[in-house]
Structure 1
């Protein structure tokens, strides 16, 4: 591997990831970039574990979703364990999936049936939070060497920073959309029922609290004409 060339690719990747306009776009670009940039990688995906359930956040290649599904059903597998931080590991590498795997016997057998010859994965994390595990698949055994493990680690580091940025942007946009929806709903109530600004806001808040739903959802119902302040 030519590390200078890879460093240049990482710099381009950082710009491409930060240019994505949504969290999902960033996740999809990370998986696609892993296939493009990591030598021998045939498929890649991002797996998270929520309440013990495997969730595929992004997939580039058909084998990814099936592998994630199997690991979730079996409750075992390298991606599954990494995503839930079992044992505190942040990286794994299986050089040859055709050889017996004592840690994940059932998954290894199923993975061989899917045509998986080699796997490696890296936890996507920042100091503040984890985003799941970036997992790379190859059909040929022996594909992922120690050097390629390092390459995956560098890619994952860029990806985690981009995901943290994308989540912040998504949260800001969501907050702005919520404020806009609430403002419109308040305007409708003020005009329709001759309320003051404070009274209109309190109406939305009381409905939200009484029905235990988010104020943004109450505002949307007012905008759609489905909710009355009565």
Structure 2
């Protein structure tokens, strides 16, 4: 591997990551970068574990989703473990899935049937939290070397920070949108029912609690219908 070229491309990728306008775009950029930058990587995806279920984010191939589903069905697998933060490992590398894998006896044979020869995975985390696992696949056994692992780890480190920033930005935009919608709904209520601002807000809060509806959803309905009678 030409490390000077890799570092240059990684720096360019990091700048591009921070320029993405949504979480989905950020994740797709991350997994595409994995196939472009990490030697031996044929496919990549991000796995998030929610209880006993997994979510496949930004997969570059159907094989990634199939692998995630197998791990969910079997309740085991390297990506599944990484996503649930089992053990102290933040990186895994399986050189050859044709070898005996006693840690994942059900998943490994199924993975071989999918045509997976070797795998790597990296926990995506910052000091504040973990987000899931960035997983890389090769159809060939022994495709990933120590250099591949180092390259993948560097990519995952940048990816975790970008993922965190994108989520924060999305949450901020959602909060602003909610505040705008609630403000517009309050204006409608004040005009229609001749209420002062404080009383209009209290009415919305009370109805939100009584109807077990989030304030922003109630506000959206008021904006759509022009009334509280629904």
> Which interval holds the TM-score relative to the shorter structure?
over 0.9
- 2:162 maps to 1:162: yes
TM-superposed deviation, 1:173: 0.3
Number of the residue aligned with 1:180:
180
TM (normalized to structure 2)? 0.97
Number of the residue aligned with 1:7:
7
Number of the residue aligned with 1:136:
136
Number of the residue aligned with 2:119:
119
- 2:222 maps to 1:218: no
Instruction: Determine helix, strand or coil for the equivalent of 1:63.
Output: helix
Number of the residue aligned with 1:202:
202
C-alpha RMSD of matched pairs (Å): 1.2
TM-superposed deviation, 1:227: 5.1
- 2:58 maps to 1:58: yes
- 2:76 maps to 1:87: no
TM-superposed deviation, 1:88: 2.1
Contact 2:40-2:148 at 8 Å conserved across structures: no
Q: Give the ranges of 4+ consecutive aligned residues of structure 1 lying more than 2 Å apart after TM superposition.
A: none
TM (normalized to structure 1)? 0.97
TM-superposed deviation, 1:226: 7.4
User: Which sits farther off after the overlay, 209-218 or 156-165?
Assistant: 209-218
TM-superposed deviation, 1:57: 2.0
Q: Which runs of 5+ in 1 are unaligned?
A: none
Report how many aligned residue pairs link the two structures: 230
Find the aligned partners of 2:192 and 2:151 in 1 and give their Cα distance. Answer: 61
TM-superposed deviation, 1:229: 6.0
